[in-house]
Chain A
Amino acid sequence: MADGHRRRIVLPREPHAELAAVPLVDLLGEQVGFSHDTLAEIKLALVEACLNALEYGQGEVEVEVVAHADAPARLEITVTDHGAGFDASVVPQPDLTAKLHASRKRGWGIELMRHLMDEVEVHSTPGLTRVRLVRKRKEA
């Protein structure tokens, strides 16, 4: 694969760090023909993955974005952190009615990722969590 179709960044530990990788999605997504509306959805999912990694991870948070031009054209994003890890299978599906009556209204990140992307995989063990997000380009 050409180097131009793969980019990696370590998120800075500073305010708005969750946005640092967003330009990579625009750069690589446009190279393989994604629409701006689809890229906007991918960016929302990426921001959620980065927020989780920054909040719960330790050490470096690394984001890799790969654009696959071969059919089906797709963007593949991997967000890696080194936190305590978690079991994504037991993260409850948020319910708006319940959230409106709850003191904690957060907990939408994984749900949003699952709806905004075609594939969401979480591999997590103590010290290493990888969230892999894939979105395929719809053919015209």
Chain B
Amino acid sequence: METFELKLAHRDGRLAVLEVGGYINNEAGEAIAGTAKTLLAEGHRILLLDLAGTRIINSIGISLLLEVLERIIEVKGTLAFCCLSPSIAKTFQIMGLAQYARIFPDRPQALAALSVDS
């Protein structure tokens, strides 16, 4: 099984970038939600989740990502994702996540777009 890893890769003003690796299940989702809550409390309002190291996610992990999204919407922030595997991209498309979160093919494109916003 892919070991879950979470790393704060970048923070600059309103923007913070989290690198997520491994299986996103309940434990991983809670870790992401907890870190996101801290980042929001610190004043960040744009959160980019780089999922380059993630190949599998389950619906419990997804529900915890929705909690993150709910909190970010409440503070009028932005949740973004980049580097999705095709299967995770399809999962997000099934859910309609692009209505509320921004999705980018890679990190440079995400940073370029989100830096303008921040």
Contacts and interface: CB of A to CB of B under 8 A. Distances in A.
Contacts, number: 73
Contacts of A41: 86-87, 90
A115 B90 CA distance: 9
Classify chain B's interface size. Answer: 20 to 34
A96 to B, nearest CB: 5
A100 B87 contact: no
Contacts of A115: 90, 94
Contacts of A43: 56, 87
Interface in B1-15: 1
Question: Closest 5 CB pairs between A and B?
Answer: A40-B87, A105-B63, A108-B59, A105-B66, A106-B63
30 contacts: A16-B23, A16-B25, A19-B56, A22-B56, A40-B56, A40-B86, A41-B86, A41-B90, A43-B87, A44-B56, A44-B57, A44-B58, A44-B87, A48-B58, A51-B58, A51-B60, A96-B66, A96-B96, A96-B97, A96-B99, A99-B66, A100-B66, A100-B70, A100-B73, A101-B70, A106-B60, A108-B59, A109-B59, A115-B90, A116-B91
